[in-house]
DNA sequence: TATAAACGATAAATCGATTTTTCGCAGTTG
DNA sequence: CAACTGCGAAAAATCGATTTATCGTTTATA
């Protein structure tokens, strides 16, 4: 391709047209792959495109469509591995289909969530992937509904009457965690979470409780939740331990909770798994290199992203029918932070990738 | 505002015009704040806007400008806290100025970097914040140059002859790390990094070496770098230790290296800081809750983002003059992973936020 | 041979805003 | 009273593509 170094104005379709000696409409048709063009003219167009280094202006191209080839993605935050990976996946999937992904962070605020959504509506995005701050019943989903927007809800949702939803099957994963903890003999387990993520937390909690009680009806399950942020959770946890409560294991329903639990453990000089066991919902890279490695529930990011995009584009292409609610299976990585109560570290040894040195 | 529930077509400027009994040009002028409009007509326009729930279509609005009110941001990845925070900051700053941020991940690939850049050029973005995969001399910066794009380079850069650059003053931070390690008596220090981030790594290395040798000319500094990815680094590190090398401290020039170092330590059952000390460039939330807490260099994300955006918009508004190269100061958080060689854990206790329980 | 159908391509309308040009009317000036 | 100046607003051009309507040619059909 001839790199024309004209930093000034990029060639438009009219430049290509005049260079090829045809009309702009013909150029448009050639590039759109319409076959009712004489091969000779098509070739002239291709040559001109090549020679001028012409590229379609996506903005102008989208002008006449009601739905622009833009997908909006709204995440509660960008700082965690989970949402970071999610955005990366979504971006790739949008790109594959010739769409541009515009990602925005709601910063855990429902007000901001709605503002961003309004701005995306201004852009007339074809669809939105929304990971709501709280759940599917917030103002953001309502805004989408009342404005006839196309979208998919992910992560902190279970099901909705207007939008397709995709999330991790955290109830099943929690049941699996229960199986492992109770199986190791834990009889007093503390579960911590955020109450505002109502449905999700309830699902995780119920999945856990049901399974735990099924295996051992006398197991004691304490629950500590805070409403909005994690800081209240920290002080509740501190109070709880200060009261003398001494569960043998903690299951955190969210990543920040895992961090809070760890920092409270270290404050009291409790070590995992000798003093207490810990499992966290949501995995992170560092969890397998620390001492001990932290057991975690791994969410299927790729599957969630892929399924969400598939459903979204189906709707964009006009698919009717009742919304679906997908649950993607998680994986539970049992690592060294979990042992049997009263014992030393369990021998199993987590997921160390290499055998010990000879 | 009257929420008009017409999910079909949004009102255009012409709808507002006819509703207010004026021309579209007048509406545009009123909304742009032009004062040569009779107050009475302006009021009618405002009323119509309110009544119809009209909002300007940013896409159509941008059609005629050579530079659209869009800022592109290209990051090597979205998974780390650093780039996650960076995108969040950049998004907020762009938004403040009425611009839309379109972020994309180059996934540590220079080829993808250039492709993304070409796509952003198609969108005629007003400017680009590029965090290059390697450094300022890659094909992406060259593409921007040859196409007359406006942009700022951040993070893995030092200075450029065409673009403003903003990065953390990692040389100064590394000198600070050297001061702390040598000050604690470390005489054999291993530095690990990625060679492809040439200039940055060299700066960090030189900053460290110079300061360390100044304080103790007999200090031994080993360096292990791998070219592109971190996996070769892992095996080099393994070989190094297998050869019997036993530095008293490791300084990792990048986050992934810190993780690699930790996992190699745990493979050999070495504990920080008793068996070896560790400092990492780049901080992460988990580093202060692990046992031990990991010492780290904190990069000034907000300052870098803010300075980059300031410089970028200055250029967008037409500022001429030679490019500037900013270095923003870092903060070094000395935590428990650093002790004195041969000693037990040092008493200082890292940055524990709360005093121990009474 | 005259008309119709098919084909290929151009002209023109369109999307929704902004910007430039033109126009009408009122008030001044010579 | 004609010409001029201003002001406010409408009309028209523009941005760059797509889509619809239109218009010649050429070939097929009656």
The secondary structure element, H or E, covering residue B47 is: helix B39-52
Mean confidence (pLDDT) of chain A? 91
Nucleotides of chain C in contact with protein CB (under 7 A) are 7-12, 14-20
- As annotated, the residues of chain B forming the CATH 1.10.260.40 domain(s) are 13-56
Which residues neighbour A260 within 8 Å (Cβ) at sequence distance 6 or greater?
Answer: A192, A230, A233, A234, A237, A252
A72: tokens are: 């909006």
A287 contacts on B by Cβ (under 8 Å): 286
CA–CA dist B43, B33 (Å, integer):
12
Indicate if the pLDDT at residue B354 is higher than 80: no
- Alpha-carbon torsion, ordered A271, A275, A277, A282, to 10 deg: -30
Whole-number Cα distances in Å, A180 to A34, A173, A176, A282 = 60, 11, 6, 17
Domain boundaries A13-56, CATH class: mainly alpha
Query: In whole numbers, what is the pLDDT of chain B averaged over residues?
Result: 91
Tell me, rounded to whole angstroms, the distance of Cα A111 from its chain centroid.
20
> Which of A89-98, A196-205, B209-218 is predicted least confidently?
A196-205
Percent over 90 (pLDDT), chain A: 84
What average pLDDT does the segment A153-180 reach?
96
Q: What is the mean pLDDT of residues B239-268?
A: 94
pLDDT of residue B342: 73
Which pLDDT tens digit goes with each residue over B114-135?
999 999 999 999 999 999 999 9
pLDDT per position as a tens digit, A289-316: 888 899 999 999 999 999 999 999 999 9
Kindly provide the residue ranges of all beta strands, DSSP E only, lying in A248-356, ordered along the sequence: 249-252, 277-281, 295-298, 325-328, 331-333
**What is the reported pLDDT for A5?**
46
Q: Identify the pLDDT of residue B34.
A: 84
Q: Looking at the DSSP assignment, which residues form a beta bridge with residue B252?
A: B192, B280
CA separation for the pair B117, B130 (Å, rounded):
9
Residue B291 pLDDT level (bands cut at 50, 70, 90) = confident
Banded model confidence at residue B200, pLDDT cuts 50, 70, 90: confident
Does residue A52 register a pLDDT over 60?
Answer: yes
Query: What single string gives the DSSP state of each residue in B75-130?
Result: ES-SSSHHHHHHHHHHHHHHHHTT-EEEEEE-TT-HHHHHHHHHHHHHTTEEEEEE
In angstroms, the CA B284 to CA B282 distance is 7
Name the residue closest to C6, CA to C1': A36
- Provide the CATH number for the domain formed by A170-299 in this structure: 3.40.50.2300
Residues A109-161: pLDDT tens digits? Answer: 999 999 999 999 999 999 999 999 999 999 999 999 999 999 999 999 999 99
Cα B50 to its chain centre, rounded Å, is: 40
Nucleotides of D under 7 A from a protein CB: 7-12, 14-20
- Helix count (H) and strand count (E) of chain A? 12, 12
CATH class of A68-167+301-326: alpha beta
User: For nucleic chain C, which protein residues have CB less than 7 Å from any of its atoms?
Assistant: A 21-26, 29, 36-38, 40-41, 63-64; B 9-14, 24-25, 28-29, 31-32, 54-57, 60-61, 63-65
Q: What angle do CA B195, B201, B204 make, to 5 degrees?
A: 155
Q: How confident is the model at residue B227, as a pLDDT?
A: 84
Spatial strand order in the sheet of A125-130: A100-105, A68-75, A125-130, A151-154, A164-168, A325-328
- The pLDDT assigned to A48 comes to 96
- The 10s digit of each residue's pLDDT in A7-34 is 578 999 999 999 999 999 999 999 999 8
Sign of the C-alpha dihedral, residues B271, B277, B282, B288? positive
- Which of the two residues, B101 and B7, has the higher pLDDT score? B101
Write out residues 321-350 of A within 8 Å (CB-CB) of B.
none
* Mean pLDDT calculated for residue range A56-78: 97
Residue range B234-253: mean pLDDT, rounded:
95
Name the CA radius of gyration of chain B, rounded. Answer: 26
Residue B7: pLDDT band by 50, 70, 90 thresholds?
low
- Any idea which of A91-95, A121-125, A263-267, B16-20 has the lowest mean pLDDT? A263-267
What pLDDT, on the 0 to 100 scale, is given for residue A7? 53
B68-167+301-328: what fold? Rossmann fold (3.40.50)
Q: Closest residue of B to A81, CA-based?
A: B79
Closest by CA position to A275, among listed A287, A262, A257: A262
Percent over 70 (pLDDT), chain B? 92
In this predicted structure, what is the pLDDT of residue A224? 94
- Listed by number, the residues of chain B in 142-181 with a beta carbon closer than 8 Å to a beta carbon of chain A are 146-148
Check: CB of residue B274 under 8 Å from CB of residue B307. Answer: no
Assess whether pLDDT exceeds 90 at residue B309: yes
Q: Which residues pair with A164 in a beta bridge?
A: A152
Mean pLDDT of B217-235: 91
Whether residue B79 contacts residue B51, with contact meaning beta carbons closer than 8 Å, is answered with: no
Q: What is the DSSP string of B285-345?
A: GGGGTSSSPPEEEEP-HHHHHHHHHHHHHHHHTT--SPPPEEEEPPEEE--TT---TTSS-
Mean pLDDT of A323-341: 95
Angle at B93 between CA B92 and CA B95, to 5 degrees: 65
What are the pLDDT digits (tens) for A100-109? 999 999 999 9
CB contacts of A8 in chain B (<8 Å) are 148
Q: Are B77 and A88 in contact (CB < 8 Å)?
A: yes
Please report the pLDDT score of residue A345 as a whole number. 41
Residue B111, pLDDT score: 97
What is the rounded average pLDDT of the residues B208-214? 96
Interatomic CA distance for residues A257 and A234, integer angstroms: 8
pLDDT interval class at B198 (50, 70, 90)? low
In chain A, CATH 3.40.50.2300 sits at 68-167+301-326, 170-299
Exposed, middle or buried by CB within 10 Å (0-12, 13-18, 19+), for B295? buried
**Can you give the pLDDT at residue B283?**
96
- Look at chain A and count its residues: 358
Contacts of B59 in chain A (CB under 8 A): 59, 62-63, 68, 123-124
Which tops the pLDDT comparison, A271 or B195? A271
């Amino acid at each position: 391709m001839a790199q024309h170094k004209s930093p000034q104005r990029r060639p438009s379709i009219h430049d290509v047209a005049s260079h090829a000696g045809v009309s702009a409409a013909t150029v448009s048709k050639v590039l759109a792959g319409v076959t009712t063009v004489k091969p000779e003219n098509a070739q002239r167009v291709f040559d001109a495109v090549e020679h001028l280094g012409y590229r379609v202006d996506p903005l102008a191209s989208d002008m006449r469509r009601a739905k622009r080839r833009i997908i909006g993605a709204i995440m509660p935050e960008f700082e965690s591995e989970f949402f970071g990976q999610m955005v990366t996946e979504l971006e790739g999937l949008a790109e594959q289909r010739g769409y541009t992904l515009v990602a925005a962070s709601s910063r855990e605020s429902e007000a901001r969530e709605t503002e961003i959504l309004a701005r995306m509506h201004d852009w007339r995005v074809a669809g939105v992937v929304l990971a709501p701050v709280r759940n599917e019943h917030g103002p953001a989903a309502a805004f989408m509904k009342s404005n006839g927007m196309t979208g998919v809800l992910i992560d902190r949702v279970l099901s909705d009457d207007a939008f397709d939803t995709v999330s991790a099957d955290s109830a099943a994963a929690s049941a699996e965690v229960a199986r492992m903890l109770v199986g190791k003999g834990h009889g007093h387990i503390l579960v911590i979470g955020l109450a505002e993520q109502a449905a999700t937390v309830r699902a995780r909690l119920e999945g856990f409780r049901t399974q735990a009680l099924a295996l051992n009806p006398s197991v004691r399950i304490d629950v500590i939740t805070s409403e909005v942020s994690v800081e209240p959770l920290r002080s509740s946890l501190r109070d709880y331990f200060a009261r003398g409560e001494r569960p043998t294991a903690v299951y955190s329903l969210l990543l920040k909770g895992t961090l809070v639990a760890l920092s409270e453990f270290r404050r009291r000089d409790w070590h995992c798994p000798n003093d207490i066991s810990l499992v966290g919902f949501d995995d992170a890279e560092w969890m397998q290199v620390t001492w001990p490695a932290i057991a975690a529930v791994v969410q299927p990011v790729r599957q969630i992203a892929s399924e969400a995009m598939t459903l979204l584009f189906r709707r964009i292409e006009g698919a009717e029918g009742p919304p679906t609610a997908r649950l993607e299976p998680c994986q539970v990585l049992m690592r060294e932070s979990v042992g049997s109560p009263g014992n030393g570290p369990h021998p199993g040894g987590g997921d160390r990738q290499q055998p010990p040195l000879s």
